[in-house]
Chain A
Amino acid sequence: MPAEGINMLFTYKDITKDIFEQPDVCIIGSGAGGAVMADVLSGAGLDVVVLEEGGYYTKDRYSNYKPYESFKILYRDYGATLAFGRIPIMLPLGRAVGGTTVINSGTCFRTPDSVLNDWAETFGIIKASPIDMEPYFERVEKTINVVPVDPEILGRNGLVFKRGADALGLSNGMLKHNMINCHGCGRCVFGCPTDAKQAVHLNFIPSAVKHGARVYANARADRIRVEGRTVKEITGSILNEETDNRIYSISVKPKLLIMSAGAVYTPYMLDRNNLRISPELGRNLAIHPAVRVTAMFDELIEGYKGVPQGNYMDAYASEGIMHEGIFVPPEIGLPVMGKLGFKGKELASNYNRTAAFGVMVSDKNSFGSVRAGVDNRPFITYSLHPYDIKKMIKGIAVASEVFFAAGAKSVNTSVFGFNELKTPDDISRLFEKKISATAFEMMAFHPLGTARMGEMPGHSVVDSFGKVHVIDNMFISDGSIVPTSLGVNPQITIMSLSMRNAEHIAENRSKLIK
C-alpha cells in the first residue's frame, strides 16, 4: 500500500519485490530542485519517476521526535556532514522526501537582481535576468505560500535583537517564510510538527503525484550507466528505513535523467560513477559560513518559543554580511557554548535568559570542492579566505554591539580566545590581533555551485537551462547549478530555476526526450 493520501508515493514498506521502471524522466532527489521538476514535467504530461534516498515523513511522524532524534532521522550524518579544510565545518543536509526543505528554517529570499545580472555578465547565462525570473518567483512563492513572519510569533529572542538594532539605527526587518498558520513553536529545523512550514513534500510533491508521477522514498540511486553521450540506466537499492540495509533493487531506464541530489550529492554521485562530465564538476563549492553569537540577559528570553529565524538585520548586506535569527533548544545550543562541569550546568540553568543571533557571510573569495570519498560518502573540502574571516569578525562585532545595545550582560562570540565579552569596550579586542580560521566554531549552510551553469562548456558543467554540456539526456536541477554565492537563503532561487528549466524541457520535449 502506498503512503496514505498520496497513492503513488511508495516507501520501503510498500515494496515487496524488485522494481523496474521505464519512464520518460527519472529524477534523483526530491528536494527544492527535484520536487519542482517532478511537478512541472508530470503536469506537462510526461511520465516521471522520482528516487529519494530518505524516508517519507509527515507531521504525525516527526512531531514525536525530540530535536536530537531529528538529527539522526531527517538529516544526513546526524546533521554533521563535514567540509574539511583548516577547520572542519558542519554542513547540515536533509535526507527525506522534500530534501533540505523539510529541515531548513523556511526563510525565503528572491535571488538578488545584482546576482542575476552578474551571472549574465560573468557566465553568459541567458534568459535569467530579473525580468525573466519574476514570473517564476511569483509562482513558486504562491505555491509555497511565502509571507512575512507575523511579529506575534517572533518570540523574545528576535525581539531583543530588534530592540538593539533599532537602538543603533541599523536596518532590520521581518523575514519571509513559506508557512501557513505557524504557531511559533520553534521547530522549523527539526521538521515542522504542525505542517505550517510549506516544505516541498506538502505542495510540489503531492501535485506531481496527482499528475501521475511515481515517487519512491527509501530508494537510493547507486549506479548511473552511460553509453557514449546517453544515460541508459539507473540502478539502486530500496533501503529498510530502520537499518539502511538494502531489501530490494530498483532499475530505471529513463529517456531523460535529472540529477537533483543537491550541491554535495549530485557531484558526489557523478564522480562515484566515474562520470567526469566536466573539469568544473565538484569544484567552485560556495557555502554560507555562519557562526552564532549568544548573549546573556537579566530578562527572561525563552528563545525556544517563537520562530527561530524570524527576523534579520541587513545593515551590512552590501559587504556580504547578513544577520539572521537563529535559536536552538538547549540540547543543541549548550554543547557548543564552551563550558563543562559545574560551570556548564550554571550556563544551562540560565538558558532561559540566553539570546542568540546568526552571522552569515557571502563567501566571494573562499572556495571548496566535492568528490567521492571513502565510506560511501562525499569528501568535501573548503578553504575559508582571510578576507571572509575578516567579514565574519566584523559580523560578530556588530552582533555583539547590537546585543549590548539591547541590554545584554555579556556576549559569547564563538571565537576561541574571545569567548566572553563583558562590556561593549571588549568588542575592540576582536580587531586587536589576527584571528585565524581555526579560532571559529563554524557551521555552513546553502551549498551551491558544484555543477555551475554557463554557456562556455570549458567553464561550466551545464548550460543556462541545466542541460549537461556533454551528455544528451542529462540535466542537473538543484543548488549545484547556481554559479555563485547568493548572500541570501537559496530555496526560492533553486525552486524558481528548476521551474524555468522544467518548462524549457517540456517545451523542447521532442528534441530532448527521445
Chain B
Amino acid sequence: MAIKELKVLDQKLYNIARAIAEAIIPAGGAFEPGANEVDAALLFDHYIDRLSRIQFRFIKYILYMIQYTPLLTKFKLFTRMSLGERIKYLQGWEESRVSSKRYIFITLKLLIMMPFYSDDRIQDAIGIHSSMGEHPECLLKV
C-alpha cells in the first residue's frame, strides 16, 4: 500500500483499519471476497475525507482504542492477533453491555462496511444490483 494513495489516514492507522476491516468482513464464507480483496480500508480512508477535524480525531481515537486495548487483556496488539481472535474481540465490542462501546463500534462499522458493500463486485457476489447509474433496480424501467 503506497502511502501517497491515502487521503487522511497515515500508514499506521491504515494498517489498523485494514485489520479491523478484515475481521468485520473476512474472505471466504457465504461469498468469497472479503474486505482486503477490495481494499476496504483504503475506501474507508477516501470516504472519511470530509469529516471535520474533531470528527476525524474521534475516528482516530476509536482505531487506536481497538489497537491498544487488547494489550491489557490479550497482551498483544490488535494487528498482531489472528483473524479468529480479531473477530471474537470485535464481537465483544458489538455485543458489549456498555451501550457507548456498542455505538462507537457501530459508527466505525458503518464507515467501513458502506463503501465495501457499495462495490459492484460485492453486490454481484451477494446477488444485489443497487447501483444508481442505469437504475437496474427500478420496478418500471426508465
Contact = CB atoms under 8 A, between A and B. Distances in A.
A63 interface: yes
Interface of A: 62-69, 71-72, 77-78, 80, 87-88, 152-153, 155, 183-187, 190, 193-194, 244, 302, 304-306, 329-332, 334-336, 338, 340-342, 344-346, 348-349, 351-352, 374-377, 416, 438-439, 441
Interface in B97-142: 99, 102-103, 106-107, 109-110, 112-118, 123, 126-128, 130-133, 135, 137-142
B54 interface: yes
29 contacts: A67-B114, A67-B130, A68-B47, A78-B51, A87-B103, A88-B103, A155-B139, A183-B142, A185-B142, A186-B130, A304-B130, A305-B138, A329-B128, A331-B115, A332-B114, A334-B113, A335-B110, A340-B24, A340-B87, A341-B24, A342-B30, A348-B126, A349-B126, A352-B126, A374-B54, A375-B52, A377-B52, A416-B102, A441-B103
B128 A352 contact: yes
Contacts of B55: 77, 375
Interface of B: 23-26, 28-31, 47, 50-55, 87, 90-91, 94, 99, 102-103, 106-107, 109-110, 112-118, 123, 126-128, 130-133, 135, 137-142
Most buried by A among B94, B102, B126, B133: B126
A348 B117 contact: yes
Nearest to B108: A335
Centre residue among B51, B90, B102, B110 by max chain A CB count within 10 A: B110
A153 B142 CA distance: 13
Given A345-B30, A346-B29, A331 B116 contact: yes
Given A63-B132, A340-B109, A334 B99 contact: no
Given A66-B118, A341-B24, A441 B139 contact: no
Contact of A184 (B118, B131, B140): B140
Contacts of A77: 55
Nearest to B49: A72
Given A340-B23, A349-B30, A186 B137 contact: yes
A488 to B, nearest CB: 26
Contacts of B115: 68, 331
Contacts of B114: 67-68, 71, 331-332, 335
A66 B51 contact: no
A304 B90 contact: no
B125 to A, nearest CB: 8
Contact of B132 (A66, A302, A340, A345): A66
Contacts of A332: 114
A330 B87 contact: no
A65 B47 CA distance: 13
A87 B99 contact: yes
B135 A341 contact: no
